[in-house]
Amino acid sequence: MRDRADLVIIGGGVVGLSLAYHLARLGFTDVVVLEQGYLCFGASGRNGGGVRQQWSTEENIQLMKESVQMFRRLSSETGYNVWFRQGGYLFLARDAASAQGLEANVKLQNRCGVPTRLISPAEAQRVVPGLAPAGIQVCAYNPTDGVLFPFPAVWGMARAATQLGVAVETFTRVTAIEARGRQIVKVVTDRGAIATNRVVNAAGAWSVQVARLLGVELPNKPYRHEILISEPLKPFLDPMVSDLSDGTYFSQTMRGEICGGVSDPAEPSSMETRSSLRFLERMCRAMVRVVPTLANVRVMRQWAGFYDETPDGQPILGRVDEVDGFIQLHGFGGHGMMLAPIVGKLAAEWILRKADHALFQRYDLGRFKRGEVQKETFSIG
């Protein structure tokens, strides 16, 4: 392992690797990425792969438009097929408040150039064969949203970054970060130390622990989020379907499996990764309500990952007051995979001072002290 680096990225998930990849593409390769497990160990390897542009703030819509374009190129850029399939996203509203929310979102999305449409339950049945229309008021459908296979997105960015000269160290746990005054001097791992003045915290659910190594307290909380996958079926389901009444979402993978999860308001913050029967039952009920014929499909497997949640549902990006050269890139909730390409690219440009992006001031840790908080209302799962 290298014993010094211009920049050390803690966290070999899709966010840290996207940053490493984009730094390397800009010619900055004196970078070490430290991953505590295997690649895909954390949330980057445990999510449903949804990529949507249906958001409730202009900023997130514009970022996600960029990410979609980047995912379209990612397979050919990295040599790993990420199976990005633009089958759309279909949101179901069962009450007046959700319907009004969708209406407002669709107008905003259209102004941003995203072709989302409000459609009736009858029309939605043509998009999702077998959809039960009862109780659905209105749907929002954007055919250019999509789903990808998370693993190759992670591996592809890791390999592309490595080929350009970045070092990606798996099974390497950070045990300490040493500082002299405000300046970082060293990252200590269970496989040796790396002298550096700059550290990026991209550790997802482990970000709070990483920040604490430098005495920085983060407001993030990790939440278990469970997900299941069915036996493979003949391809029949184009979009990701999401029921806003309970936060259910599911889509069909390129291997034919139905894969999805559901929100659980009773889930406490924890670092628990065991699977629960409670989730299995809630998810199965939710799926049958949306598409009753799924009742005959067999569930093969369930697992859990983490949502790294912040108080306002937006990520934490940028510097901290306490220490120099300590950059935060975490708090992505359930949206790290879909935001990773564009956030990694913008962060690389910002770190190398190729461009200034307001994102890294607006979403810095200090916003919670300043009270400048604008909540993203359209988070699912």
Partner 1 sequence: MGKTIVCQCEDVTQGDLEDAFEQGFRDLESLKRYTGLATGLCQGKCCIAHAARFLAALKGGDEAAADPPRTRPLLQPTPISCFAGPEELSASPASREGQK
Query: Measured between alpha carbons, how far is 128 from 251 in angstroms, rounded to an integer?
Result: 10
Query: Does residue 266 belong to the site contacting partner 1 (CB under 8 A)?
Result: yes
* Contacts to partner 1 from residues 10-39, by CB under 8 A: 37-39
| Residue 158 or 179 with smaller CB distance to partner 1 | 158
Radius of gyration of the chain (CA): 21
Query: Does residue 81 belong to the site contacting partner 1 (CB under 8 A)?
Result: no
Query: Does residue 280 belong to the site contacting partner 1 (CB under 8 A)?
Result: yes
| Residue 283 or 323 with smaller CB distance to partner 1 | 283
Query: Does residue 190 belong to the site contacting partner 1 (CB under 8 A)?
Result: no
Contacts of 308 (CB under 8 A, 6+ apart): 43, 204, 205, 207, 220, 222, 330, 331, 332, 333, 336
Nearest-CA neighbor of 244 among 316, 87, 365, 139?
139
Query: Measured between alpha carbons, how far is 369 from 371 in angstroms, rounded to an integer?
Result: 5
Among 76, 134, 181, 296, binds partner 1 (CB under 8 A): 296
Report, in Å, the least distance between residue 159 CB and partner 1: 8
How far is CA 233 from each of CA 197, 238, 258, 272, 288, rounded to the nearest angstrom? 51, 13, 8, 31, 16
Strand order across the beta sheet in which 326-330 lies: 167-169, 31-34, 7-10, 199-201, 326-330, 316-318
| Residue 41 or 368 with smaller CB distance to partner 1 | 41
| Residue 266 or 358 with smaller CB distance to partner 1 | 266
Contacts of 180 (CB under 8 A, 6+ apart): none
Binding mask of the shown chain, residues 210 to 249, with x at each position contacting partner 1 by CB under 8 A? --------------------xx------------------
Query: Does residue 294 belong to the site contacting partner 1 (CB under 8 A)?
Result: yes
| Residue 39 or 359 with smaller CB distance to partner 1 | 39
Query: Measured between alpha carbons, how far is 315 from 339 in angstroms, rounded to an integer?
Result: 10
Query: Does residue 134 belong to the site contacting partner 1 (CB under 8 A)?
Result: no
Nearest-CA neighbor of 325 among 148, 157, 185, 136?
185
Query: Does residue 40 belong to the site contacting partner 1 (CB under 8 A)?
Result: yes
Report, in Å, the least distance between residue 150 CB and partner 1: 10
Nearest-CA neighbor of 171 among 45, 36, 14?
36
* Contacts to partner 1 from residues 136-165, by CB under 8 A: 151, 155
Among 119, 188, 297, 352, binds partner 1 (CB under 8 A): 297
Residues interacting with partner 1, by CB under 8 A?
A: 37-41, 45, 151, 155, 171, 230-231, 255, 264, 266, 275-278, 280-285, 287-288, 294-303
